[in-house]
Structure formats: C-alpha cells, structure tokens
Amino acid sequence: MRAGVLVAALVGGLAVVSGTAVAAQSPNRATLSPTTWVSIDSRSPHEGVVGGDARIGSWRDEVGKHHVGKVYFTFDLARFVGTQVFTASIRTPELAANDCAKPRATELWVVEPSGAITWADQPREVARVAGPEVTDECVTPWLGWNVLDVVKRSVAEGRSSLTVAVRVSEELQGDVAYGRTHSGSAVLDTTFNTPPGTPTGLRLDHVACTGEPVVLADAWQRVSAQVNDADGLYGLQGRLAYWPVDAPERRVEVLTSAGGGRLSGSFPTGMIQDGGTYAFAARTEDGFANSEWSAPCVFTADLVAPTKAPTVTSTVYRENGGPPGDGGEGLAGDFTFSADGDQDVVAFEYTGIGIVGGRVDADQPGGSATVTVTPTTDGSVSIQVYGIDRAGHWSPVRTYRYWVRTTAPYAERPLFELGVPRDVLLTANQDGATTFVYRLDGGAEQTVPVGPDGTGRVTLVFSEPGQANRTFTVWTVDAAGVKSGINDASFYVDQAWPWVDVDVWDGLVGQKRVFTVTTDRAGVVSYVYRIGDNPEVSVPAAPDGSLTFEHTPMVPGATDVLVASVNGAGVRSGWGETSFIAEAPEPTVTSADYPGYPARGGPGVTGTFTFSSPRLPVVSYRYAFGGEAEQEVVAGADGTASVRWTPKKPGYHWVRVSGVTAAGVVTDERSFTFWVEALPPTVTSPQFPADGPSTARPGQPVEFTVTPAVPGSHEVLWRISFNTTQVVPVGPDGKATFTYTPLGSFQLTVSSRTPEGVESGEVTRTYSVQPA
C-alpha cells in the first residue's frame, strides 16, 4: 500500500513574494471540518462506515472476533487557492486507547483516493506526515500533525482537496494493545493570507480617471484609489506613486493607510507646474503581499486663467440701448460670444436678470458661440459672460447692458365691492396685439379682443364673500400667436366685515352674553350669525343698520362667533368674528381629618370630606376615591356636601370631584391628594428586652409578640428581609405570637390586617444576634 517517503522529502518550498512592507494585517485563521470522512473495518471489507467513532488499529468485538481499522478525512482546499499559507495542522482528537501502557503508534498518511474507500479498495498511501506532535497523555483531544508543506504543495499542484489516512503503523496495526479510538471531528487548522487586489476607482479630487483627457486647475492635487482585499480592509495599507510624465525618474512613492477602503494623498508640493502632464498610480499592500500597480491616471495642469473678457454682440438687443427698448418680454434674441482668438477659452458661461443662464462650448479653442436668450422681464437689464478654459478657470466678466421693450398690457384696476360690477380697463403694449388673454385667481383663460385704440374691458362682479386679495394675470397675443410679456396684477375686494363686540368675553357657564354688531356698509337689512357649531340664525337689522343679540352658553370652553351682514340685494358680507370663554370652575375639597400633608388619621380611621363650589352654583357632586367607582352626593341649600370615607391602607390617596349644575353642566374636575398615617403594630420579644441585653443566639428560637394598633385586626403578617410573608392569627387577647430561629443578625417586617382588608402599615426592625 505504501509508495512514498516522509513528506519533507516529497514537497518543495513555495516562492516568497518580494518587496513586502512591514506587516499591517494579521494573518487569516480558518478551522475547517472534513467535507467527508469514512472508517474502514477488515471485517466489512466492501463497505465504509460514516458516523460514530473512528477506530484505528486492532480490537476485538463482543464475541472475540479480531478487527483492523483505519479512518480517512477529506478537507476542501479551495479557500487557499491564490493565498500564502503560513501554518497548517490536522488535529484528530483521541477518545480512548486499548492499552495506555503501549506507546502511541498512530500515523498520518497523504492518500490519493480514486473512488469509494473500503477495506478491499484502499487508496494509495503517497507519503507519511511526520509526527504526531509528542504528548505524555495516554489520550488527548489535541493530537496533531504539521501539514503546512502538504497543503502548500497540493494547492500549488492545483488540487482542490486533501485526503489523509489515520492508522496504526503497519508493523503494529494487528496488535490489539496498540488500537485506539478517535473522534470523527477532525479539523484542519490554518493561518494564511490572500494577496490584495489591484486598486481601482482612481480619482483626482472629484474627477474619476476614465482614460479620457483630464485638465485640472490646481497645483495642490488630491488623489485617491479604492482598495480591495478578500481578507478584509482592517490594517490594509497602500502605496501612491506620483511623477511627471516627461520625467519618470522624479517618481515619488508614499506609503499610506487605507482608511475607509481608499488610499488618499496629494501630489508633492512644487511638482505640478502650469502646462505639465502628470500621472499617479496606486498599489495595495497588506504586509505579506503587494498587488500589481494600477494603470496610471494622467492629467495636464492648467494653472493660469484666461486674462481677457469675451466680446458680446446681438442683432436684436442693442448694447446700451434705451427706452422704449428692443425686442420685448418673451421675444427671443441672439447673443454671440467670442474669445477673440484666446486659445485657452473653450466655452462660455452666461447669466443675467430675467434670463435663463447656461454654458455653451466654443466652436473651437479661441472661437465663438451663439445662444438664443428670451428675456422674461422688461426695462434695463444685462447679461454677464465669462470665458472658460479646459481647467474650468473663468476669464474676467463681460457685462452687456441692453433695454427690453415692455410688451405686457397695462391693467387699470378699480376698488371692488361685494355685489357691485366693476370694469378693468386693459391697454395693449405689444405691436400688432389682437387679443387680451387673462386668468382670474389662476382659473381658466378668458379672452377679450383688442380694440382699434389698443384697449379692452373686462367686467367683474363678486357676489359671494371670499378672499379679499385676488390675482389677475393678463397678456396679449398677435395674429401670429406670439405672446407678449405677462402682467401679474392683483386687486382688493372689500368684504365689508362687520365689527362684533361681546360682553362678557370670559365668564361662567350659564352667564348671559350680549353681542353688539355694527357696520359702515350701506343698505344693510339683516344679519346672519353662527355660534360655534350651531346652525346659522338670520335676524333683521335695527334701523341704524346695527344688531344686538344674546346667548347663554351651557357648555364650558372657548366658542367662536361669526356674523355677516346682508344688504337689500341679498348680498352677504364676509364674516365678522369674535369669541368668548365659558368656564365651569372646579369645586374645592377640604377635610379636617385628612388635610393633605403631613399624614393624618390612619388605616380604618374614617374622615369627613367637604365639597363646595364658590363660583358656580351646583346641585350635586360626583366623586371617586382612588380607583373606586364614581358616586354622587346631593348638595345642600348652601351648595356644599360632605361625605365620609375610611382608608384601608396608609400612604398616598386622592379623591376626584366634579360639580353638576341644575342644567346638567359638569364642572371641571378637582383632584385632592392627601396622606394617611401608618398605624403599625408593636413588637416585643423576651430574647430582645427593651431594657436589657439580647439573649438571642444563632440556631435558637426567638419568640415575638405582636400587638396590632388597628382595631379589629384579625391577623399579623411578618417576613424576614425579602423572604416569603408569613401570616399568624390574632388571639382573643388581641395579640399574635410566632417564633423564628435565626442563624445570625436579621431584619423583621411586621404589619396587621382586618377582615375588611384594612392594612396597618409596616414596621421594620433589625435585630443583632451575637455568636454563641
């Protein structure tokens, strides 16, 4: 079966990557389980056993039959393709030895499987791996072999897996005393490094390097490149190289970290000069291997801006023209920009008031460009033009001033009143205008013909109240459909709002309010008013055009009131507005027994609580103590009412109280808080006398006598520290007794309780127990 010698003689070394920087990353670690494993047994020559324990060497079964076994493990090596493997060891944990007096004779062999592995069809054993590593233990879970050279050679030969056999040596495998049992959980422990990838995504500041010509304007040039490494980015470094293209001997390389997955740096100070062509490249380094250098990113430096402003001409809009101007709003005009032969200028940028600016390329370096500009405003305007070079430098500005003729129509706007028709007089300014086009409040377009005198009329009437400020947009068109400038006008429609006064503005529910309404509108015959969400009410106006009406609010809160006048033509005004507040103040609560704080009374001690409503007469009170159900008590002739209530426990309590008027109005709620004093029982013990030393000792019972302070208490509750609460009955003498056997000092908490659930409150004492 054997055809090899020690693996040290079988495998050779791998080449080491040169030019490696100081280690920046830690090696990767991988612990691989077998992809498959199988045991073979001489007693089952044509089948392999998968699962259970792996027996090697010899053993006898329960009927005394002799067996010889081996185990085979296969590991996947695909992860290590293209990597540097630093360490590799196979560990085969032992579970048992047939005889610990015998030395270990276990061997690991590299094998070449050619099919299913059985005793009858065992794979060829290629080479024995030196080892295992020496151990003094009879059985160890750490039995291992160094397989670094095996793994490296297998990967170099293009093998995707490694299969090994674990067996007892040939000369001893038939001796039962040397047999052993291994776990099927063998592992391949490795450390390795994956060489980093060549950097990508090179950038000059924010300009991507795509291979296209790049011209930049800055002598201080930032650069960056994206790095990648299958082992992760932590600790990754890289190198940036900079050089003039025509002087590669001036190349400068700088080592830098790859923070955020990018290498970043800048060209050395003074290297970049105007007109020069420069390059940079990047390389990734992980401390064990370096990537290839990236393709260089090349650019030309243009550090000097054009010195001459461009010239500007137009065949439509004369420079420095005056009124009435040229062209018109909405009328396009051509503008020609020229660099006058300045070869640095390759484009023009323009902007101005009332135009849409932009950028346009010159027809050639130092050439010209023509754009069409449509002014959106009239009067004296200007256009500012800059020459732009390949690096983006701007030349001095050229300002071209011109006058745009007004073409928008004029609109004479009267003062509008509700229900009264008024004319808007329109006057055209566009040559050859035939039609006025207008929109009211952004609505549909309407048209009016332009008269022989260049005017037109639009009659408007506003019969319903609404917004006071209205918009009126108007323009003209000529016979060819050319549109004039736009007049965005506005006008005011008087809403004739009445003035509304209220007496009283802030009062009580049930208190009458008087509203007085006046107006300067002529011809008022009636009014319409609405209070809150109630329906509208229509009432006639007084002879002087005023109105007085009353209202008694029965619901607390703020209420809005709207009032509009109506004239003889039935035209309603806009709403005049006011509001009022109706309050239902909360009642007061007093108690001599439980005044609030500090604590008074006690559990089981009944107290009297008095309710009153000094501002708003009420006929009853609704109240609820704590989480109890709500109750109601009738008020006396003086408007007050008293209730009696008995607390069942000490501490914080509250009562919520609202008054109810004869009309059923419920007042705001009053929350009255108060504290109930605890009435804890007294606790005595003969082992802890009040006037003498303690006689309590660890392990000896201590007797306690508890006397409740709350009348009618039928049981006492006690506990030691945070242990379970114990309950003992109160005897006919009004006392309860219990014993406790301490192991040392302890804390005792005691309280009492009545059959009705009245709790006294707790008393806690600490008792010191001296050692025996």
Strand order in the sheet with 736-740: 682-684, 702-707, 736-740
pLDDT in tens, 211-252: 999 999 999 999 999 999 998 888 899 999 999 999 999 999
Q: Hey, what amino acid is at 289?
A: A
Q: Do 425 and 455 form a contact (C-beta atoms < 8 A)?
A: yes
Give rounded-to-5 percent helix, strand, coil for the chain: 5, 45, 50
For residue 7, pLDDT over 80 is answered with: no
Q: Do 529 and 559 meet the contact criterion of CB atoms below 8 Å apart?
A: no
Using 50, 70 and 90 to split pLDDT, how confident is the model at 208?
A: very high
pLDDT of residue 2: 38
Domain ranges of the chain: 7-193, 200-301, 311-404, 410-494, 500-579, 588-676, 682-767
432: its two tokens: 């050859």
User: Of 11-15, 61-65, 137-141, where does mean pLDDT reach its minimum?
Assistant: 11-15
Q: What is the pTM of this model?
A: 0.53
How far is Cα 389 from Cα 455, in angstroms, rounded to an integer?
Answer: 52
Q: Comparing 7-193 with 311-404, is the CATH topology the same?
A: no
* Residue 46 reports pLDDT greater than 80: yes
The token duo for 451 is: 């008269």
Residue 664 forms beta bridges with which residues? none
pLDDT at 324 over 60: yes
Write down the pLDDT at residue 24. Answer: 60
CATH 3.30.230.70, applies to 7-193: no
Region for 192 from its dihedrals, namely left if φ exceeds 0, alpha if ψ lies in -120 to 50, beta otherwise: beta
Give the class (CATH, top level) of 410-494: mainly beta
Separation between Cα atoms, residue 548 and residue 545, nearest integer Å: 11
CA dist., res. 690 & res. 216, Å (int):
97
Residue 414 · residue 423 · CB < 8 Å: yes
- The residue to which tokens 């360490």 are assigned: 87
74 close to 161: Cβ distance less than 8 angstroms: yes
pLDDT over 50 (residue 13): no
Q: How would CATH label the architecture of 200-301? A: Sandwich (2.60)
- CA-CA distance, 401 to 408, in Å (whole number)? 21
pLDDT over 60 at 371, yes or no: yes
Integer CA distances (angstroms), 205 to 255, 276, 449, 484, 672, in order: 19, 18, 61, 47, 71
Architecture of the domain spanning 311-404 = Sandwich (2.60)
| pLDDT at 108 (0 to 100) | 97
In this predicted structure, what is the pLDDT of residue 706? Answer: 97
pLDDT for 692 equals 85
Beta bridge partners of 535: none
> What CA–CA distance (Å, rounded) separates 456 from 437?
11
With beta carbons less than 8 A apart as the criterion, state whether 669 and 658 touch: yes
Strand runs labelled E in 77-116: 84-91, 94-97, 106-112
Instruction: Report how far residue 203's alpha carbon sits from residue 222's, in angstroms, rounded to the nearest whole number.
Output: 8
Spatial CA neighbour of 417 closest among 369, 465, 486, 473: 465
Contact 245, 277 (CB under 8 A): yes
User: Model confidence at 1, in pLDDT bands (50, 70, 90)?
Assistant: very low
Structural domain 500-579, CATH architecture: Sandwich (2.60)
Helix (H, G, I), strand (E, B) or coil at 31: strand
Strands (DSSP E) found in 170-228: 180-182, 187-193, 200-204, 207-208, 215-216, 222-226
The Cα–Cα gap between 524 and 518 comes to 10
On average, the pLDDT of the chain sits at: 93
Whether residue 618 has a cis bond before it, omega within 30° of 0: no
Give the C-alpha separation, 402 to 285, whole Å. Answer: 63
C-alpha to C-alpha distance for 582 and 567, rounded to whole angstroms:
33
> Is 202 exposed, middle or buried, given 0-12, 13-18 or 19+ CB atoms closer than 10 A?
buried
- Cβ neighbours around 387 below 10 Å, total: 30
The sheet with strand 416-417 has its strands ordered as 416-417, 487-494, 469-478, 433-440, 446-449
Q: Which of 473, 502, 476 is nearest to 489 (CA)?
A: 473
Rounded CA-CA distance 664/147 in Å is 96
Query: CATH assignment of 588-676?
Result: 2.60.40.10
Torsion of CA 664, 665, 669, 670, to 10 degrees: -80
Question: What average pLDDT does this structure show over 687-709?
Answer: 94
**For range 642-651, the mean pLDDT:** 97
Say if residue 97's pLDDT is above 90: yes
The whole-number pLDDT of residue 543 equals 96
What backbone torsions phi and psi does residue 672 show, to the nearest 5 degrees? -105, 120
Share of the chain above pLDDT 70, in %: 97
Closest Cα to residue 437, out of 480, 468, 414, 408? 408
**Whether 485 contacts 330, CB under 8 Å:** yes
* CA-closest candidate to residue 222, choices 206, 241, 245, 199: 206
- The Cα-based distances of 738 to 716, 727, 728, 758 in angstroms read 10, 9, 7, 21
36 to 114, 184, 613: CA distances (angstroms): 14, 10, 90
> Quick one: tokens of 178?
């040397």
Name which of 4-8, 141-145, 160-164, 686-690 the model is least confident about.
4-8
Span 682-767: which CATH code?
Answer: 2.60.40.10
- Report the alpha-carbon distance of residue 255 to residue 183 in Å, rounded: 49
Q: Three-state SS string across 649-664, please?
A: CCEEEEEEEEEECCCC
* pLDDT tens per residue, range 164-185: 999 999 999 999 999 999 999 9
In whole angstroms, give the CA distance from residue 583 to residue 509. Answer: 6
Q: List the structure tokens of 468.
A: 């006071």
Residue 161's pLDDT is 96
Question: What is the secondary structure of 356-424 as a DSSP string?
Answer: --EEEE-SSTT-EEEEEE--SS-EEEEEEEEEEETT--B---EEEEEEEPP-SPEEE---EETT--EEE
Amino acid identity of residue 496, one-letter, is A
